[in-house]
Structure 1
Amino acid sequence: MQVTLVQEASTLDPAENRDRLAELTPEGSDLVVFPEAYARDFGEPGSDLSDAAEELDGPFATEVARVAAARGTTILAGMFERSADPARPVNTLVMRGAAQADYRKIHLYDSFGYQESDRVTAGPLSPVTVELGGLTLGLMTCYDLRFPELARALVAEGADVLVVPAAWVAGPRKVDHWRTLARARAIENTAYVVAVGQPGPRYCGHSIAVDPLGEVLAEAGEKPESLTVTLERDVVDQARRTNPSLANRRL
């Protein structure tokens, strides 16, 4: 399966972000992954996000589906979805194309001086997996990467690939945490990790793809960039024979 990681910044203008989907989505990839909040950036810390919220059949998800069909691919991208609390939308990933899924962010970024839960409603505590190209994808969003129990729950549901759109805020140690956590989630679960962030300077960039034994297949820098990697079923199977840690679990 060929996967393209699109490390591009979103703006505060949803129409502009929608318009760029077609420009940034290549032909020939099985999966194209955009960052968290690609439909509309978070804005300044603590900003009201209610005006950015849409339904899952609204303009953004509809355009994701249209571009995916036009390119013959599947697209995963982040948006804000209307919730039962009009003031606090859900931070949602929408996947449209050859596969379809929606994942609502479980772990909200109440850390490093931020309080995402003031402006966002957390999603249900249910791991979301989806089949595509002979592999099972497990969906996570940004801060979720810091929680190994979610990654393990996704793998217990059959995930071979952990896909992590993010807007990983820049700061001291943050790139090191991002890279280390991506590799750790890959190694401990003998799964691919495809983690796609928004670029600097506000965010860290460094979108990364890691194989099931922890080797970095590709990594971006801080600036906008797209990377393409190939994920193979046989690589997952071989890694799990070499390091059968999932089979050896006792807890």
Structure 2
Amino acid sequence: MSESILVAVGQFAPTADSAANLAAIDELATRAAARSARVVVFPEYSSYFEKEMGPGFVAAAQPLDGSFVRGLGRIAARLDLHVVAGLVASTGTERFSNTLVAVAPSGEVAASYRKLHLYDAFGQRESDWVLPGEIEAPQTFVVDGFTLGLQTCYDIRFPEVTRMLVDAGVEVVVLPAEWVRGPLKEHHWRTLVTARAIENTIYVAAADHVPPVGVGNSMIVDPHGVEIAAIGDEPGIAVAEVRRDRLTDVRRVNPALALRRFRVVPAEPASDR
């Protein structure tokens, strides 16, 4: 077990060209590996993205063993690190799955996650094209003794999702996002990512699309809510150290997890969409 690992977030502007998206991921992951990162996190919809969601997403959807994930596997194996990215995944229906994959240095998928809370807000209707994930036990993966878990974009507005990950032993939440720009949206992004780190005394590594669609501002926040690495509005990477002693010290000073008197339980969905 390591006392610390280096975690990177990478941001870029995914397009409808999956091969070009893989090339961008390869270039940014190579830069992260050169700085000794053990994990690099990329945005939601890294495999395929258009500004307006529509049938192109369904047509471009791939299985977990498709060409995009295999490409991530080659990158992870060559660079000897874990790669996390968003996949437009096929479901065999008229809608796709907004999925995250964590690919290990072996080239195999170490964990995957289907977005639970769809972005039917701020004038958007993600559920018109996306099937929500089933509520199930969190899939986690371990990197040098640290337990990491997956969460997607709009899920960050629902603190129960992060708390369920923490109850499963997660110490670092990785959060790929496509956080759409708009009034106060950047403020919400920073506030929510920071709040989830503080209230759970964990690290959060959040990766977004760059403008003009996303807000950028990918960041890594520590268990005290300190932004220890960040990127502005351009493609790039940021790398930060995740430390075992920081987790221990913060939880000693702020034992919020030990003092809480409530538990999270699944709720019945508001609808089938």
TM-score range, shorter chain: over 0.9
Distance 2:103 2:77 in 1: 9
Matched residues in 2 for 1:128 and 1:190: separation? 20
Note if 1:19 corresponds to 2:23: yes
Structure 2: tracts of 5 or more residues without a match: 263-273
Give the conservation status (yes or no) of the 8 Å contact 2:202–2:223: yes
The 2-side partners of 1:45 and 1:129 are apart by 29
* Counterpart pick for 2:155 among 106, 130, 144: 144
Secondary structure of 2:258's counterpart equals coil
What is residue 71 of structure 2 aligned with on the other side? Answer: 63
Is the 8 Å Cα contact of residues 35 and 197 (structure 1) preserved in structure 2? yes
Q: Choose the corresponding residue for 1:75, options 67, 75, 83.
A: 83
Q: CA RMSD in A?
A: 1.3
Post-superposition shift, 1:201?
A: 1.3
Q: 1:92 aligns with which of 86, 99, 113?
A: 99
Quote the Cα distance in structure 1 between the aligned partners of 2:154 and 2:53.
Answer: 16
**Of 155, 166, 174, which residue of structure 2 is paired with 1:155?**
166
Which 10-residue stretch deviates more, 124-133 or 7-16? 124-133
| Partner SS for 1:100 | strand
The 5-angstrom pairing of residues 49-60 of structure 1 reads 49-60=57-68
Query: 3-state SS of the aligned residue for 2:72?
Result: helix
CA, structure 1 residues 45+82, in 2 after alignment: closer, same or farther (shift >3 Å)?
closer
Instruction: Name the structure 1 match of 2:197.
Output: 186
CA drift at 1:39: 0.6
8 Å contact from structure 2 (residues 101, 112) kept in 1: yes
Give me the identity figure in percent: 44
1:114 aligns with 2:127: no
Give TM-score scaled by structure 2 length: 0.88
Structure 1, 122-131 or 75-84: larger mean CA deviation: 122-131
Structure 2 counterpart of 1:130, from 136, 141, 163: 141
TM-score norm. by structure 1 comes to 0.96
Range with bigger deviation, 10-19 or 187-196: 10-19
- Partner Cα distance (1:52, 1:232) in 2: 39
In structure 1, the residue matched to 2:176 is 165
- Of stretches 129-138 and 73-82 in structure 1, the one that deviates more from structure 2 is 129-138
**What is the SS of the residue equivalent to 2:193?**
helix
Q: Is the contact made by 2:12 and 2:24 (CA closer than 8 Å) also made in structure 1?
A: no
Give the letter aligned to residue 40 of structure 2. Answer: V
Asked if structure 2 preserves the Cα contact closer than 8 Å seen for 1:46 and 1:115, the reply is no
Query: Who is 2:235 aligned against?
Result: 224
Does the aligned pair in 2 maintain the 1:134–1:233 contact within 8 Å? Answer: no
State the 1:72 CA deviation.
Answer: 0.9
Quick check: 1:45–1:114 contact (8 Å CA) kept in 2?
A: no
Unmatched tracts of structure 1, length 5 or more = none
